[in-house]
Amino acid sequence: MKAGAFDVHYPAGGGAYAAVVVGDDERFAAVVAEHVVFLPTVAAYQPGAFFRRELPALEAALAVAGPLGLLVIDGYVDLDPNGRPGLGAHLHAATGLPVIGVAKTAFRTATHARPVLRGSSAKPLYVTAGGLDLDEAARAVTSMAGSYRLPDALRRVDALARRERATVPST
């Protein structure tokens, strides 16, 4: 099953760059594709509705990624133990695909997020999931390629999104 790691960057000049790194499996042991999509216009940021700004960019990157069985995002799937939807929940609902959220900082209401230590870091990542078991998602993040706190696929997709160079245009 191929997996995709996604990130979005908003340059000062407007629009958004959405990037995806495609791995041959959930570990991202081998990266088989990388894509960057530019969206010239994006919705304004709205507190409590971040997904309205970010979801179209993720969907544009997903459209060029090819078939995937798992999506990994930098952020939260749900924002509290009662399932208040975050970006990942909206992505899961839009695609029907399992989504793993990997956050670098704790969100005060996300007390259900699973802390995961990677590499030699004493600072955890916070894992949430939609469409798959949270324990399975935490194991997947633990086993992702890379010896640093942040898995290599998430480090790479962040760098791609920030390069501000689209390899695949989007309308």
% of the chain with per-residue pLDDT over 90: 87
C-alpha to C-alpha distance for 20 and 153, rounded to whole angstroms: 9
Backbone φ and ψ for 19, nearest 5 degrees, come out as -125, 150
* Distance in Å from the first CA to the final CA of the chain: 28
pLDDT of residue 171 exceeding 70, the answer is no
CA distances from 85 to 43, 77, 96, 141 (A): 19, 7, 15, 21
The CA R_g of the chain, rounded to the nearest whole Å, is: 15
How far does Cα 101 stand from its chain's mean position?
Answer: 6
Q: What is residue 4's predicted lDDT score, i.e. its pLDDT?
A: 98
Per-residue burial over 100-128, b if 16 or more Cβ lie within 10 Å, else e, is bbbbeeebeebeebbebebeeeeebbbbb
Q: Which one-letter amino acid corresponds to residue 36?
A: V
Q: How far apart are CA 4 and CA 26, in angstroms?
A: 8
* Mean residue pLDDT across the chain: 93
Domains in the chain, start-ordered, CATH in brackets? 3-169 (3.30.2170.10)
Do 170 and 35 touch, CB atoms closer than 8 A? no
Long-range contacts formed by 91-94: CB under 8 A, 24+ apart = 91/51, 91/55, 91/58, 91/130, 92/130, 92/131, 94/55, 94/59
The single residue listed with the structure tokens 């060029």 is 64
pTM (predicted TM-score)? 0.92
103 confidence band (pLDDT: 50, 70, 90) = very high
pLDDT at 48 over 80: no
Structure-model confidence comparison of residues 71 and 167, the more confident one = 71
How confident is the model over 110-133, as pLDDT tens digits?
Answer: 999 999 999 999 999 999 999 999
